[in-house]
Amino acid sequence: MAKLTIPAEELMYPGHAACPGCAPALTMRLLLKALGPRTVVSIPACCWTVIATSYPTTALGVAVLDNPIEATGASVSGLRAAADALGLKDVNVVGFAGDGGTADIGLQALSGMLERRTNAIFVMYDNEGYMNTGVQRSGATPLGAWTTTTPVGGSSGGKPEPKKDIMGIVLAHHPIYAATLNPSFPEDFVRKAEKARSLAGPRFLHALTPCPPGWKYSSEETIRLGRLATDSGIFPLFEVENGIYRITRKGGALKPVDEYLRAQGRFRHLGDDDVRRIQEDVRFRWERLLRLEAESANLVNPGSLRFPGPWIGERAGITGTLEADG
């Protein structure tokens, strides 16, 4: 029998407030299995503040900081500084935010955290909309999707703008490690989260997380939809370590995007031409990703950006250095 690679320990408990079929809930569960109990999670306003913390109860077996939606990046920098000051070197500092709290309202703080090279993990769970407040569009909502602020009818046919490329934005900050996650592929998910845990420096994980009420599908379809998203190339699974790309799931030819789109009420209004255009865009992005992987495979990156301070400190005769492995 194949060895089970998912840790058995549960740090997310029953009694939480997520909807049935909520992939953000599954994402937190898998993430904590990989990171373990020595973890502190900073959560901004989003579905997860409701899921986890109906005062005075909690569904999480780790410390949680509830913070303003725009501030997750700043809060993890502060948590890391506090942990360092207390000598708590084995604590995983984690920001866990929705796409609105990461790619839109929280983007400036995320950029600051990455640029300061904070030794922490930032996780964006991407349900592709502001779900907690009633399914408004976010920058991560895909082209053509219905939301309450991109309605269908009259002159409006869903979101007219494409999805924001958060991995592209993050990678422009040269993180130590960035990866896409999909809870429909738990082994790949846990392996990447464990890898993130093993590294020091700024790390970013982007999880695609289907949401039954926001995407308008039946809750038992969550895992199948997630698999279709990756196997159609809509949400490829890849990782970038010190600038070197590696695609972690290549299942032969990509499936057509139709099945994924047609399974969701938010795309039900799309015509054949719309689907064709989405298909062409997916193919273009997949081929670009293949090239990035092929081109970077022959490069060697010593990862020097991992050590932000010593050059200046050494020149100034300062003996203390920033710990890379603490």
Ligand X SMILES: Cc1ncc(C[n+]2csc(CCOP(=O)(O)OP(=O)(O)O)c2C)c(N)n1
Provide the binding-site residues for ligand SF4, judged by CB under 6 A: 18-19, 22, 24, 47, 51, 127, 131, 211-214
133 touches ligand X (CB under 6 A): yes
Question: Which of 32, 35, 46, 229 contacts ligand X by CB under 6 A?
Answer: 46
207 touches ligand X (CB under 6 A): no
Q: Which is nearer to ligand X, 41 or 292 (CB)?
A: 41
Between strands 238-241 and 244-247, the pairing is: antiparallel
Phi/psi for 263 (5° steps) reads -80, -5
123 touches ligand X (CB under 6 A): no
Find the part of the chain contacting ligand X (CB under 6 A) among 44-52, 81-89, 186-194, 277-285: 44-52
Task: Indicate the residue type of 176.
Answer: I
CB of residue 179 vs ligand X: minimum separation in angstroms?
Answer: 20
Q: Which is nearer to ligand X, 130 or 235 (CB)?
A: 130
DSSP state letters, 144-188: T--BTTB-EETTEES--SPPP-HHHHHHTT--SEEEEE-TTSHHH
Helix axis angle, 186-198 to 23-35, nearest 10°? 50
CB of residue 160 vs ligand X: minimum separation in angstroms?
Answer: 19
CB of residue 48 vs ligand SF4: minimum separation in angstroms?
Answer: 8
102, two tokens: 């990461």
Contacted entry of ligand SF4, ligand X, none for residue 130, CB cut-off 5 to 8 Å set by kind: ligand X
CB of residue 215 vs ligand SF4: minimum separation in angstroms?
Answer: 8
CB of residue 55 vs ligand SF4: minimum separation in angstroms?
Answer: 18
Q: Which is nearer to ligand SF4, 199 or 207 (CB)?
A: 207
Q: Which is nearer to ligand X, 213 or 243 (CB)?
A: 213
Question: Which of 130, 146, 215, 245 contacts ligand X by CB under 6 A?
Answer: 130
Question: Which of 12, 35, 45, 83 contacts ligand X by CB under 6 A?
Answer: 45
205 touches ligand X (CB under 6 A): no
DSSP state letters, 36-57: -SSEEEEEESSHHHHHH--TT-
DSSP state of 130: B
Alpha-carbon span 250 to 152, nearest angstrom: 35
Phi-psi label, residue 79: left if phi above 0, alpha if psi -120 to 50, beta otherwise: alpha
Alpha-carbon span 120 to 288, nearest angstrom: 29
Letter string b/e over residues 277-304, b meaning 16 or more CB atoms within 10 A of that residue's CB: ebbebbeeebeebeebbeebeeeeeebe
Considering only residues 82 to 121 of the shown chain, the ones binding ligand X according to CB under 6 A are 97-101, 105
Alpha-carbon span 310 to 312, nearest angstrom: 5
DSSP state of 267: G
CB of residue 211 vs ligand X: minimum separation in angstroms?
Answer: 7
Q: Which residue is closest to ligand X by CB?
A: 98
131 touches ligand X (CB under 6 A): yes
CB of residue 187 vs ligand X: minimum separation in angstroms?
Answer: 25
Q: Which is nearer to ligand X, 35 or 46 (CB)?
A: 46
Q: Which is nearer to ligand SF4, 40 or 135 (CB)?
A: 135
Residues β-bridged to residue 66: 43
Task: Indicate the residue type of 243.
Answer: G
Residues β-bridged to residue 130: 136
**Binding stretches for ligand X (CB under 6 A):** 45-47, 69-70, 97-101, 105, 127, 129-133, 138
